[in-house]
Amino acid sequence: MDVPRKKITIVGAGHVGATTAQHCVEKRLGDVVLIDIVEGVPQGKALDMMESAPLLGFDMIVSGTNDYADTANSDVVVITAGLPRKPGMSREDLRDTNANIVKEVTENIIKHSPNCIMIVVSNPVDTMTYVAMKTSGLPKNRILGMAGVLDAARFRHFISDELKVSHLDVHATVMGLHGTDMVPLPSHSSVAGIPITELISKEKIDKMVQRTRDGGAEIVKLLKTGSAYYAPGASVAEGIESIIRDKKRVHPCPVYLEGEYGLDGIFMGVPCIIGADGVEKIIELKLNDEERALLQKSAESVRNSVKQLKV
């Protein structure tokens, strides 16, 4: 008996959205609907991807549209829509403009896919995920942000590069908001089970922690006219795969907290198990006093961002 393919909608056909779509079909996760307000862009990118299918060997279908009706009955919806950062801008500078975009997108999505699992990528992601939850009415397990996977991947790369070891043997944990107050955790990061604190000097670890916090800004500064999309797209696809294939991977993601880590009523990055039901379990790590203080500072930044919302 044929198993129905999963349907993945990606809102926003910019660099992050299109890169995510390409990863999804190459991983054979399901058929992808790429939707954007700009006529021709999602259609053109979808056609371009489909013309790569004979070369890459995937049978999934990518379609482009400007009509939310075409997204009906999606299993997973990814929201990448919004303005990207420019040099000198923080993620918070995008807050009010992107909040209005995310609100409108969410309203349209929920009309057609009320039972989807929603992944928010638009910045500032912790705040935008809060906007999407309040707008959608989805239960907390069915909505999450995708940022911690990216932050951890950046930290993993810096560790791998420093030690000249395979990325596959490096595990890193990053908590807190996706921004300058994020909390990379060297005490919970390792290489083949060996704590990085035993392999790298504190001075070098501190530099890598700061570079992880500045990871997006470093790329924005280099590109000058855009922001990162290769690593973000791969990070989103990783989360989608864990949901579609019920892999129950442990990913750091912005999720809605109700008492975990002593925090309540906000979205913030913490390690959690991601599977077919979305956020299946939040994992509470033992943090030292310094780490807990940094997490509280990060949480306060998220609270202030939510308070300042103008939607």
3-state secondary structure labels for all residues of 251-291: EEEEEEEECHHHCEEEEEEEEEEEECCEEEEECCCCCCHHH
> What per-residue confidence (pLDDT) applies to 189?
98
Residues 114 and 241 in one domain: no
Count up the domains in the chain and report the number. Answer: 2
Look-up: residue for tokens 């309203």? 107
**Mean pLDDT lowest for which of 21-30, 76-85, 265-274?**
76-85
Residues 159 and 79 in one domain: no
Establish whether 23 is a catalytic residue. Answer: no
Which of 98, 130, 145 is the last residue before a domain boundary? 145
Please indicate, yes or no, if residue 2 is contained in any of the structural domains: no
Which CATH number is 106's domain given? 3.40.50.720
Residues 180 and 245 in one domain: yes
More confident: 311 or 58: 58
Residues 266 and 292 in one domain: yes
Among residues of the chain, what percentage have pLDDT more than 70?
96
23, 178, 188, 251: the catalytic one is: 178
Please indicate, yes or no, if residue 1 is contained in any of the structural domains: no
Closest by CA to 189, choosing from 156, 163, 238, is 156
Q: pLDDT digit string (tens) for 94-112?
A: 788 899 999 999 999 999 9
> What per-residue confidence (pLDDT) applies to 160?
98
pLDDT at 82 over 90: no
Calculate the average pLDDT of the chain.
94
Which CATH number is 233's domain given? 3.90.110.10
Give the mean model confidence (pLDDT) for residues 182-197: 97
pTM attached to this predicted model: 0.94
Neighbours of 239 (CB within 10 A): 26
Q: pLDDT digit string (tens) for 18-40?
A: 999 999 999 999 999 999 999 99
Which of 90, 118, 145 is the last residue before a domain boundary? 145
- Integer distance in angstroms from the first to the last C-alpha of the chain? 47
Residues 132 and 229 in one domain: no
Q: pLDDT digit string (tens) for 205-260?
A: 999 999 999 999 999 999 998 899 999 999 999 999 999 999 999 999 999 999 99
Residue 83 and residue 95: Cα distance in Å, rounded? 9
Give the mean model confidence (pLDDT) for residues 132-151: 96
Residues 31 and 67 in one domain: yes
Q: Which domain holds residue 282?
A: 148-307
Which of 93, 124, 145 is the last residue before a domain boundary? 145
Residue 224: DSSP 8-state: S
Residues 102 and 164 in one domain: no
Residues 164 and 108 in one domain: no
Residues 199 and 284 in one domain: yes
